[in-house]
Structure 1
Amino acid sequence: MPPPEDPDPDRAALLARWLDLTRRVLPGMAVAQRWPIRRDHCFMRVCLDAALGGRWDAAVRRPAIRHLTPAQLQAAVAAAARIAAEPGLLPGLNRQSLAWRGRLR
Protein backbone atom coordinates (compact mmCIF):
# COMPACT_ATOMS: atom_id res chain seq x y z
CA MET A 1 0.00 0.00 0.00
CA PRO A 2 1.46 3.40 -0.90
CA PRO A 3 1.89 5.94 1.89
CA PRO A 4 -0.98 8.36 2.35
CA GLU A 5 -0.66 11.77 0.72
CA ASP A 6 0.97 14.26 3.08
CA PRO A 7 1.13 17.98 2.34
CA ASP A 8 4.18 18.46 4.59
CA PRO A 9 7.27 17.60 2.50
CA ASP A 10 9.41 16.97 5.60
CA ARG A 11 6.87 14.53 7.00
CA ALA A 12 6.51 12.91 3.58
CA ALA A 13 10.28 12.34 3.41
CA LEU A 14 10.30 10.95 6.96
CA LEU A 15 7.39 8.68 6.15
CA ALA A 16 9.16 7.43 3.02
CA ARG A 17 12.24 6.64 5.13
CA TRP A 18 10.06 4.84 7.70
CA LEU A 19 8.45 2.68 5.04
CA ASP A 20 11.79 1.90 3.38
CA LEU A 21 13.33 0.82 6.68
CA THR A 22 10.37 -1.27 7.85
CA ARG A 23 9.25 -2.72 4.53
CA ARG A 24 12.57 -3.26 2.76
CA VAL A 25 15.71 -2.77 4.84
CA LEU A 26 14.86 -4.61 8.07
CA PRO A 27 12.94 -7.48 6.43
CA GLY A 28 15.88 -7.82 4.02
CA MET A 29 18.23 -8.26 6.97
CA ALA A 30 16.04 -10.71 8.87
CA VAL A 31 17.22 -14.04 7.47
CA ALA A 32 20.93 -13.23 7.57
CA GLN A 33 20.61 -11.93 11.14
CA ARG A 34 18.47 -14.92 12.22
CA TRP A 35 15.92 -12.55 13.70
CA PRO A 36 12.77 -14.00 15.27
CA ILE A 37 10.57 -11.75 13.08
CA ARG A 38 10.42 -11.27 9.31
CA ARG A 39 7.27 -9.29 8.40
CA ASP A 40 7.09 -5.55 7.95
CA HIS A 41 4.25 -5.06 10.43
CA CYS A 42 6.32 -6.82 13.11
CA PHE A 43 9.22 -4.43 12.53
CA MET A 44 6.78 -1.53 12.69
CA ARG A 45 5.44 -2.80 16.03
CA VAL A 46 8.91 -3.21 17.54
CA CYS A 47 10.15 0.18 16.33
CA LEU A 48 7.02 2.05 17.37
CA ASP A 49 7.02 0.44 20.81
CA ALA A 50 10.72 1.24 21.26
CA ALA A 51 10.16 4.82 20.14
CA LEU A 52 7.14 5.36 22.40
CA GLY A 53 8.38 3.38 25.40
CA GLY A 54 5.42 1.02 25.53
CA ARG A 55 2.57 -0.31 23.44
CA TRP A 56 2.32 2.14 20.58
CA ASP A 57 -1.41 1.52 20.19
CA ALA A 58 -1.99 2.81 23.73
CA ALA A 59 -0.59 6.20 22.66
CA VAL A 60 -1.51 6.51 18.97
CA ARG A 61 -4.74 5.82 17.11
CA ARG A 62 -4.75 3.25 14.34
CA PRO A 63 -3.49 3.38 11.70
CA ALA A 64 -0.29 4.73 13.18
CA ILE A 65 1.00 5.83 9.79
CA ARG A 66 -1.71 8.51 9.72
CA HIS A 67 -1.79 9.50 13.38
CA LEU A 68 1.85 9.69 14.50
CA THR A 69 3.00 13.16 15.45
CA PRO A 70 6.14 14.39 13.70
CA ALA A 71 8.16 13.75 16.87
CA GLN A 72 6.78 10.21 17.20
CA LEU A 73 7.51 9.47 13.55
CA GLN A 74 11.04 10.82 13.92
CA ALA A 75 11.59 8.63 17.00
CA ALA A 76 10.26 5.56 15.16
CA VAL A 77 12.56 6.21 12.19
CA ALA A 78 15.49 6.63 14.58
CA ALA A 79 14.65 3.30 16.27
CA ALA A 80 14.48 1.52 12.91
CA ALA A 81 17.74 3.09 11.74
CA ARG A 82 19.45 2.12 14.98
CA ILE A 83 18.34 -1.49 14.55
CA ALA A 84 19.66 -1.49 10.98
CA ALA A 85 22.99 -0.16 12.26
CA GLU A 86 23.11 -2.40 15.34
CA PRO A 87 21.30 -5.65 14.41
CA GLY A 88 21.98 -7.21 17.80
CA LEU A 89 19.38 -4.85 19.31
CA LEU A 90 16.39 -6.37 17.54
CA PRO A 91 15.87 -9.56 19.59
CA GLY A 92 15.78 -7.66 22.89
CA LEU A 93 13.49 -4.95 21.53
CA ASN A 94 11.17 -7.61 20.13
CA ARG A 95 11.05 -9.40 23.50
CA GLN A 96 10.25 -6.12 25.27
CA SER A 97 7.50 -5.34 22.76
CA LEU A 98 5.97 -8.79 23.24
CA ALA A 99 6.23 -8.45 27.04
CA TRP A 100 4.30 -5.15 26.91
CA ARG A 101 1.58 -7.08 25.08
CA GLY A 102 1.58 -10.05 27.44
CA ARG A 103 2.72 -12.28 24.57
CA LEU A 104 6.20 -13.22 25.69
CA ARG A 105 6.68 -16.99 25.47
Structure 2
Amino acid sequence: MRGRQYRYGLDMTALSPAPDREARERHWLRLTRETLPALARSRDWPVSADHCFQRILLDNACGGRWYDHIARRPAYAHAPDAILAAAIALGESVAEDTADLDALNDKSMRWRGKL
Protein backbone atom coordinates (compact mmCIF):
# COMPACT_ATOMS: atom_id res chain seq x y z
CA MET A 1 0.00 0.00 0.00
CA ARG A 2 1.36 3.40 -0.94
CA GLY A 3 1.50 6.18 1.61
CA ARG A 4 0.23 9.70 1.24
CA GLN A 5 2.14 11.64 -1.37
CA TYR A 6 3.32 15.22 -1.10
CA ARG A 7 5.69 17.40 -3.09
CA TYR A 8 7.93 15.61 -5.59
CA GLY A 9 5.83 12.42 -5.30
CA LEU A 10 7.72 11.27 -2.23
CA ASP A 11 6.15 8.47 -0.21
CA MET A 12 6.15 10.27 3.10
CA THR A 13 5.18 7.19 5.09
CA ALA A 14 8.76 6.02 4.56
CA LEU A 15 9.80 8.69 7.03
CA SER A 16 9.56 7.41 10.55
CA PRO A 17 8.04 9.69 13.18
CA ALA A 18 10.53 12.07 14.71
CA PRO A 19 12.23 10.45 17.66
CA ASP A 20 12.17 13.88 19.23
CA ARG A 21 9.45 16.15 17.90
CA GLU A 22 10.80 19.09 19.90
CA ALA A 23 14.20 18.70 18.23
CA ARG A 24 12.57 18.67 14.78
CA GLU A 25 10.60 21.82 15.61
CA ARG A 26 13.73 23.54 16.93
CA HIS A 27 15.51 22.61 13.71
CA TRP A 28 12.62 24.07 11.67
CA LEU A 29 12.69 27.33 13.61
CA ARG A 30 16.47 27.65 13.34
CA LEU A 31 16.31 26.94 9.59
CA THR A 32 13.50 29.40 8.86
CA ARG A 33 14.30 32.12 11.40
CA GLU A 34 18.10 32.14 11.20
CA THR A 35 19.71 30.11 8.41
CA LEU A 36 17.55 31.05 5.43
CA PRO A 37 17.15 34.76 6.33
CA ALA A 38 20.95 34.99 6.77
CA LEU A 39 21.50 33.38 3.36
CA ALA A 40 18.96 35.73 1.78
CA ARG A 41 21.32 38.65 2.43
CA SER A 42 23.83 37.25 -0.04
CA ARG A 43 21.48 35.62 -2.55
CA ASP A 44 19.00 37.12 -4.97
CA TRP A 45 15.93 35.61 -3.34
CA PRO A 46 12.38 36.96 -3.60
CA VAL A 47 11.91 36.86 0.21
CA SER A 48 13.96 37.37 3.35
CA ALA A 49 11.44 37.24 6.21
CA ASP A 50 11.09 34.09 8.30
CA HIS A 51 7.33 33.82 7.86
CA CYS A 52 7.75 33.94 4.07
CA PHE A 53 10.17 31.01 4.13
CA GLN A 54 7.75 29.13 6.36
CA ARG A 55 4.85 29.80 3.97
CA ILE A 56 6.80 28.73 0.90
CA LEU A 57 8.22 25.56 2.43
CA LEU A 58 5.00 24.43 4.12
CA ASP A 59 2.86 25.17 1.05
CA ASN A 60 5.19 23.14 -1.15
CA ALA A 61 5.45 20.30 1.36
CA CYS A 62 1.63 20.15 1.46
CA GLY A 63 1.12 20.58 -2.27
CA GLY A 64 -1.12 23.59 -1.70
CA ARG A 65 -1.89 26.23 0.89
CA TRP A 66 -0.67 24.82 4.20
CA TYR A 67 -3.78 25.99 6.04
CA ASP A 68 -5.88 23.68 3.86
CA HIS A 69 -3.87 20.75 5.27
CA ILE A 70 -2.93 21.84 8.80
CA ALA A 71 -5.85 22.84 10.99
CA ARG A 72 -4.18 24.75 13.81
CA ARG A 73 -1.52 27.37 14.33
CA PRO A 74 1.35 27.59 14.60
CA ALA A 75 1.51 25.33 11.57
CA TYR A 76 4.90 23.79 12.31
CA ALA A 77 3.70 22.66 15.75
CA HIS A 78 0.57 21.00 14.36
CA ALA A 79 1.88 19.66 11.06
CA PRO A 80 2.09 15.87 10.77
CA ASP A 81 5.66 14.60 11.07
CA ALA A 82 5.77 13.77 7.36
CA ILE A 83 4.81 17.30 6.29
CA LEU A 84 7.25 18.94 8.69
CA ALA A 85 10.02 16.58 7.57
CA ALA A 86 9.30 17.36 3.91
CA ALA A 87 9.30 21.11 4.59
CA ILE A 88 12.61 20.85 6.44
CA ALA A 89 14.16 18.78 3.66
CA LEU A 90 12.99 21.33 1.10
CA GLY A 91 14.40 24.19 3.21
CA GLU A 92 17.73 22.42 3.44
CA SER A 93 17.71 22.00 -0.34
CA VAL A 94 17.05 25.72 -0.71
CA ALA A 95 19.94 26.48 1.66
CA GLU A 96 22.20 24.15 -0.35
CA ASP A 97 21.05 25.88 -3.55
CA THR A 98 19.68 22.65 -4.99
CA ALA A 99 16.04 23.83 -4.93
CA ASP A 100 14.81 26.95 -6.73
CA LEU A 101 13.28 29.30 -4.16
CA ASP A 102 11.89 31.58 -6.89
CA ALA A 103 9.95 28.69 -8.43
CA LEU A 104 8.75 27.47 -5.03
CA ASN A 105 7.57 30.98 -4.12
CA ASP A 106 5.76 31.37 -7.45
CA LYS A 107 3.98 28.06 -6.89
CA SER A 108 2.95 29.13 -3.38
CA MET A 109 1.69 32.49 -4.63
CA ARG A 110 -0.32 30.81 -7.41
CA TRP A 111 -1.97 28.49 -4.90
CA ARG A 112 -2.95 31.61 -2.97
CA GLY A 113 -4.30 33.40 -6.06
CA LYS A 114 -1.64 36.11 -5.92
CA LEU A 115 -0.04 35.38 -9.32
TM range (shorter): 0.7 to 0.9
Identity of aligned pairs, percent? 44
Counterpart Cα distance in 2 of 1:72 and 1:96:
17
Query: 2:82 pairs with 59, 71, 76, which one?
Result: 71
1:81 paired to 2:92: yes
Does 1:90 pair with 2:105? no
Q: SS at 1:33's partner residue?
A: coil
**1: CA distance between counterparts of 2:92 and 2:60?**
12
In 2 relative to 1, CA 95–80 (structure 1 residues): closer, same or farther, beyond 3 Å? same
Runs of 4+ with >6 A deviation: none
The equivalent of 1:50 in structure 2 is 60
CA drift at 1:16: 0.8
Q: Would the aligned equivalents of 2:25 and 2:77 in 1 still touch at CA under 8 Å?
A: no
Q: CA deviation at 1:72?
A: 1.2
Q: CA deviation at 1:88?
A: 5.7
- More helix by percentage: 1
Using the TM superposition, give the Cα deviation of residue 65 of structure 1 relative to its aligned residue in structure 2, in angstroms. Answer: 2.3
12, 16, 21: which one aligns with 2:22: 12
TM-score of the aligned structures, taking structure 2 as reference length? 0.78
* TM-aligned CA deviation for residue 66 of structure 1: 2.4
The aligned length equals: 97
Question: How large is the RMSD of aligned CA atoms in angstroms?
Answer: 1.6
CA distance in 2, matches of 1:51, 1:37: 18
What TM-score do the two structures reach when normalised by structure 1? 0.85
Quick one: which amino acid aligns to residue 25 of structure 1? T
Q: Per the alignment, in what secondary structure is the counterpart of residue 34 of structure 1?
A: coil
Tell me how far apart the structure 2 counterparts of residues 55 and 87 of structure 1 sit (CA, whole Å): 23
Equivalent position SS for 1:61: coil
